[in-house]
């Protein structure tokens, strides 16, 4: 694996933490971001160090307009540059449209779509100067799956769809220097004690609709991110790699 300088947002738990572990290797340096879960981020950083990589923990609320650019600059300074940015931070909102307030909708856009755009803009000069640079977003199946028998996430879906559109636009604008892709997880197992978007009954009904009949794991999503960050994915850009057990076909 290349010895690279990597920023992963939303890395205190779940997919973000698994991504840090998957990318950790001797000589690598990883900035572990969290909004407020410092204890979780420190656990992720410890796991990164156990794998021989260097790790720093950085805190920022990416919904604040100035925070993404500040985070990128702090990461680049701490790591000595930036080769890979994984934009993973986000949350799920199941509020139906009829009850979705302007503030609720804006909260998803700010934390997901606007955060990705602002991170990308700030990271562009650092990535362009980096080694085999990659920008990788973590989207979600909720931007693709709309069925009457399946829970929907209107605000989250709109924000993730915006991220995917930006991925495609940036893949064109930043070629050939930087590749830009997204991983699209399906229903993914949460860490113990983490908030669940569905009730137990809803989970059981959902599992019946997934062709592979199980939830994905954070590690399975992280392996897809690691692939897109690897030399093996050097000729891939503007793509959405679904890791969803077949729920979106």
User: Does residue 248 fall inside a structural domain?
Assistant: no
Quick one: pLDDT at residue 173?
98
User: Does residue 9 fall inside a structural domain?
Assistant: yes
User: Does residue 177 fall inside a structural domain?
Assistant: yes
The neighbouring-strand residues paired with 188 are: 216
User: Does residue 179 fall inside a structural domain?
Assistant: yes
User: Does residue 232 fall inside a structural domain?
Assistant: yes
Number of separate domains in the chain: 1
User: Does residue 207 fall inside a structural domain?
Assistant: yes
pTM of the entire structure?
A: 0.94
Quick one: pLDDT at residue 201?
76
User: Does residue 29 fall inside a structural domain?
Assistant: yes
User: Does residue 249 fall inside a structural domain?
Assistant: no
With a cut of 70, which residues of the chain have pLDDT below it? 1-2, 192-198
- 114-123 pLDDT tens trace: 999 999 999 9
Calpha distance 57→12 (Å, rounded): 9
Which stretches of the chain are DSSP H helices? 14-23, 38-50, 67-79, 102-108, 115-128, 154-173, 200-207, 218-229
Domain of 153, in residue numbers: 5-243
Quick one: pLDDT at residue 59?
98
Calpha distance 152→143 (Å, rounded): 9
Say which CATH number the domain at 26 has. Answer: 3.40.50.720
Whether a cis peptide bond, with omega within 30° of 0, leads into 40 is no
């Amino acid at each position: 694996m290349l010895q690279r300088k990597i920023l992963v947002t939303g890395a205190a738990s779940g997919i973000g933490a698994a991504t840090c572990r998957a990318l950790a290797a001797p000589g690598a340096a990883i900035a572990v971001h969290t909004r407020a879960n410092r204890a979780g981020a420190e656990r992720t950083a410890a796991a990164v160090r156990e794998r021989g990589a260097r790790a720093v923990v950085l805190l920022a609320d990416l919904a604040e307009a100035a925070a993404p650019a500040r985070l990128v600059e702090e990461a680049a300074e701490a790591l000595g540059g930036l080769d890979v940015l994984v934009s993973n931070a986000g949350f799920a909102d199941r509020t139906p449209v009829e009850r979705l307030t302007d503030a609720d909708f804006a909260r998803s856009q700010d934390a997901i779509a606007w955060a990705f755009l602002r991170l990308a803009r700030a990271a562009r000069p650092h990535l362009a100067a980096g080694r085999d640079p990659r920008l990788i977003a973590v989207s979600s199946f909720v931007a693709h799956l709309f069925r009457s028998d399946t829970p929907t996430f209107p605000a989250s879906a709109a924000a993730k769809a915006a991220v995917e559109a930006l991925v495609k636009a940036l893949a064109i604008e930043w070629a050939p220097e930087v590749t830009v892709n997204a991983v699209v997880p399906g229903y993914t197992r949460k860490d113990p004690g983490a908030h669940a978007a569905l009730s137990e009954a809803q989970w059981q009904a959902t599992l019946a609709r997934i062709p592979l009949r199980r939830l994905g794991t954070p590690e399975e999503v992280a392996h897809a991110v690691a692939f897109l960050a690897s030399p093996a994915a050097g000729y891939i850009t503007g793509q959405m790699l679904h890791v969803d057990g077949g729920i979106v076909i």
